[in-house]
Chains A and B, each alone.
Chain A
Amino acid sequence: MKNIVLAGNPNVGKSVFFNYFGGVYADVSNFPGTTVEVAKTHYKNHQILDTPGIYNLGKENDEEKVAFDIIKKGDAILNIVDATHLERDIFLTLQLIELGKPLIVALNFMDDAKENGVDIDTKKLTKLLGVDIIETVATKNKGLDKINFKNFKKGHLVKLTKIDSCKSACNGCDLDMFRRNKVDNIINSTVKYNSGPKKVGEVFARLSTHPFAGVIILLLIMYLLYLFVGVFVAQTVVGVTEETIMQGYYEPFIINTLSNLIPQGSAIGTIVYGEFGLITMTITYLLGLLLPLVLGFYLVLSILEDSGYLPRLAALVDRLLNFIGLNGKAVIPLILGLGCVTCATITTRILKTKREKTIATSILQFVIPCSAQIGVIAALLAIAGKKYLIGYVLIIFIILVLLGTILNKFLPGKSSQLLLHLPRMRLPRINNVLKKTYTKTKCFMKEATVWFFIGAFIVGFMQVTGLLIRIQEWIKPFVVGFLQLPKEAAVAFIMGLVRRDFGAAGFYNMSLSPPQILVAMVTITLFVPCIASAMILFKERGWKTGSFIWLGTWIFAFLIGGIVSHLII
């Protein structure tokens, strides 16, 4: 058995190859930095290891460190390169050859290369590098069967002695120059760029970063997202799934059936099918409310991801993010946070400095609501009216800017400047989009289900033991006096401790006045991150920064909630 490592620049299709070899996890995206965790699979008696995309074999950032470690352990390397810009990708290939490991190069995106008028002399390239080169179009499943694991070869170690002596002499810096010259010579004699026809993707790419058209496109996308998730899914679809199906048929059916077996009002009865019942409220929230919302949101997000729009957006908003100590790249974790804050916190690894990671993580944990939460919030604010919806967006936005500005001012160090490779834009492929939506929704629901049941059990248990009433009375002066919400709101906050969307959902069936809805939604948005998210927070940022952020959300949420309450109620 051999360890075969998939290596290459970001966004060259490694994850598609990984899927082909039987790996199931990989989230295929059209932006760099998707593969942050190591994944492996087995294929024909070999172990296949995926690596994060890198431009350079070194230790300059997290991705490089992770990738280098895996590559060093591998017996052979399948190097995937993008045929449309070999002058970039072959640089890494050369470094991999220098390592002295057996290699096969997969020349991916051959279809794009041909369409764009790139002529590649594959035979000559094979001769110059001394390894097998296979032409592939991984997304269309072309050429992958031609990759023969018996053909791994060590490449031509051109002037290795010179490289070795240079390494010790100049710490690797001018070595890059040496490699560059070498790559340029190879490319000049094997690749020719002819002008190709302009494609739809290219035109859209131009427009998306155009100072005027780009902003219009962004606003249009946001409006469509609101119409689809906030109006269609959160109101029309959820109206059917939650009210008609779950509360109209499912819950009465369960209560009727079970009340014969377990007496209504008994301790077990209350926990199982009472007000916060495990198989009544919990299932309703999960299937009737959460599932359609998360599905709808991930569908839109997957289309945006697959098209390659997000890096363009990063360039467009770079200047704005500079004000809060981030660069355009941070838009990727921030937008992913609108899907799931937990996953997005992991993605902050693509940011360069510790300072940027801390700012982005804080914004995610403090202000960004996740898809499920947005759905519930949108539905509730729709009841309250447009005025309150706009108010909510404004308040959250102001807090985001304030928090970012404060952190930018007081955190030591300097943030990095934007230098980002923009992948080609393409029409999203239905297959890819559906697969991605399914994987992400499944992942989200799996995690949510566990915590929802735990949360419902805790609340149900507290109800049976009378603890719930006591806590309600206990924090009543605060909830009723300071936030000016009904005392039942305490339950929603307890639920929110487990998961914020669960907490937001807790307000769903409470009778609140429109201003109260706004106060409740602002408070629950800013409230502590859900348990899973908090665990990732501590893991990624460490105990010190983690505790600071976590405790901060408590104070922040109730303080802002109280202020808003006293301003409008």
Chain B
Amino acid sequence: MKTLEDLKAKQKGIVKEVKDKELSNHLIRFGIGKGSKITCNEKIPLGPIIIKFNLQEIAIARNLAKMVVLK
């Protein structure tokens, strides 16, 4: 199972499922849900992952990124 955590910098992915309900609720307000195309803009070593969605940039902690399953 591939998650957001597995993306390397500059790689793209399509969201399949967000496993954590609270995280899913938050992401949905940014517009990110099933089928959203996201890009990993930066991976801070041991730290958060910065994703790009359209023109938005969002920093997500590693542990939360694990909950975002990709296609």
Contacts and interface: CB of A to CB of B under 8 A. Distances in A.
Given A91-B31, A419-B26, A116 B48 contact: no
Given A184-B31, A419-B64, A316 B55 contact: no
Contacts, number: 100
Contacts of A318: 44, 47-48, 59, 61
Contacts of B23: 419
8 contacts: A91-B28, A180-B28, A211-B44, A318-B59, A418-B59, A418-B61, A421-B57, A422-B58
A176 B58 contact: no
Given A85-B56, A193-B55, A318-B47, A55 B42 contact: no
B42 A88 contact: no
A362 interface: no
A206 B42 contact: yes
A177 B18 CA distance: 13
B28 A421 contact: no
A358 interface: no
Contacts of B21: 173
B26 A180 contact: no
Contacts of A91: 28-29, 31
Contacts of B61: 318, 327, 417-419
Interface string A412-429: 000001111110100000
Contact of A85 (B33, B54, B59): B54
Interface in A78-111: 84-85, 87-88, 91-92
A203 to B, nearest CB: 12
Nearest to B46: A319
A177 B28 contact: yes
A314 B59 contact: yes
A462 B11 CA distance: 69
A311 B48 CA distance: 12
Contacts of A180: 28, 31, 33
Given A180-B28, A184-B31, A315 B50 contact: yes
A124 B58 CA distance: 29
- What 4 A-B pairs have minimum CB-CB distances, sorted nearest first? A87-B31, A417-B61, A315-B59, A319-B47
Interface residues of B, number: 28
B28 A176 contact: yes
A91 B33 CA distance: 13
A418 B44 CA distance: 13
Given A91-B29, A206-B41, A315 B47 contact: yes
Given A319-B47, A420-B58, 18 more contacts: A85-B31, A87-B30, A88-B30, A91-B29, A91-B31, A176-B29, A183-B31, A193-B54, A193-B55, A209-B44, A314-B59, A315-B59, A319-B44, A328-B48, A418-B48, A418-B59, A419-B64, A421-B58
Nearest to A315: B59
A464 to B, nearest CB: 58
B47 A316 contact: yes
Interface string B13-24: 000000001010
A84 B60 contact: no
Contacts of B50: 209, 315, 422
Contacts of A176: 25, 28-29
A356 to B, nearest CB: 13
Interface string A309-323: 001001110110000
Given A176-B25, A318-B48, A319-B46, A422 B57 contact: yes
Interface string A194-231: 00000000000110011100100000000000000000
